[in-house]
Amino acid sequence: LVVSMGLVSAFLFALLAAIGRRSGGSPEHIDTKVMGFVAEQRLKAVEAFELLYGDGSGADGEAPPKMDAFIEKYLTEALFREAKAMRKAKGYDKEEEEAKHVGRLDRESLSKVEKKDAPATMEGEIERLVVQKRQKRAVQERVREGKTVEVLDVDVKPEDRSLTSWRLGCAESLYHEHVYDSIPGCSPGPPSGPPCGRFVIDGVAAESEQKAMVAAIDEAFVELFHQGAETLLVPDAAVRARMGEEGYRLTEALLERVRSAVAAAANVSTDALFYSGSLLKRMDWPPLKDEWQLDERHDSFNAHVDKANIASYDWSALLYLNSVGEEFGGGELLFHDSDADRSVRPIGGRVVAFSSGLENLHRVMPMQWGRRYVLSMWFTCSARHRHENLIVGSSRPQEEL
């Protein structure tokens, strides 16, 4: 068995057994237990391979890896995690040289991209890779030249509060097995949630509030790094001084106002909707060329699915703080549907909200000129996955889900 496992996993197998012996028990019993663990992980590796490559290709259409090589990587990762968990459980605080050596090996973890609220188990990691593959496939199928572009717009004055909605069929659910399952009355879609959809809510922020937010963002963004067109800041308590008290309090008020508006539009109880993330974003075109620019060629306009990248996102919302055609050109929000692309114009004071799943593959259209300001936010239906450090605290904790 050890010979067939490969050098790294054989080393980890020996490490597991050594840790077990240090805690007592006969060597025969411990070796049998470890061998049982290895056999179980081999079966799980085969199941994972089928989930990821059962259709005969990888996420980008490439040929799948050899099954034996995949199983070896899976087994190595599983053994490494188990050894680490056993060390922690036994109270071995000092890292041994063997463990350090394994940490330096090219383990090529099955989870290359770490994301907030990501599953901690191996099965959860596989589910995440399957979700990432689904997102890439959706992009490949729906983002193409020559599609009809329809404008989702409403004929209202920007200062008037109004709601326009579009109901959608929900795509297959994401992350329901290893993060949290559908939460009745809140998670979009079957079996017992509100319909998936898109909403345009005008008049959420007054013109004076928009101008105050733009000024606060510009002040807060001084000496912040940017990538391509984007400069970003998470509006949490840690940046209160940077934002200034007025900007801090206004951001807090707007976040809560949008949460209430999204809950009403989606027919969800406000108390059931929790903050999962938020960003202040400014897009400059052409991109800034200064000492704070990290990568002028960074692409800020890729199509994506919010929940595919952050598992806790159930509902997404954007509050625009200035208007296309006045302060900037381009930068429309574009939804990539199977039959057509559908765009929404960024108008100051307007909120665009939507269910965060595969049914709402979207991107920002390339900027043409000027500065575009937006307050982005994402909401979760799981109290356990709420963001504790955002500057708002009015989402009351419910029973942990």
Q: How does 196-211 read in b/e, with b if 16+ C-beta sit within 10 Å?
A: bbbbbbbbbbeeebbe
Where does the pLDDT of residue 157 fall: very low under 50, low under 70, confident under 90, or very high at 90 and above? Answer: low
> Over the stretch 48-95, which tens digit does the pLDDT of each residue have?
999 999 999 988 889 999 999 999 889 888 888 877 777 777 776 555
Question: How many C-beta atoms lie closer than 10 Å to residue 293's C-beta?
Answer: 15
> Over the stretch 108-149, which tens digit does the pLDDT of each residue have?
433 333 344 656 688 888 999 999 999 999 999 999 999 999
CA 53 and chain centroid, separation: 23
| Helices assigned H by DSSP within 221-333 | 240-243, 245-266, 306-309
CA dist 35 and 56 (Å) reads 31
Question: Which residues on adjacent β-strands are paired with residue 343?
Answer: 151, 334
What pTM did the predictor assign? 0.83
| Helices assigned H by DSSP within 193-325 | 207-220, 240-243, 245-266, 306-309
Query: What is the model's pLDDT at position 39?
Result: 86
Query: What is the model's pLDDT at position 176?
Result: 75
Task: Tell me which H or E stretch contains 100.
Answer: helix 97-104
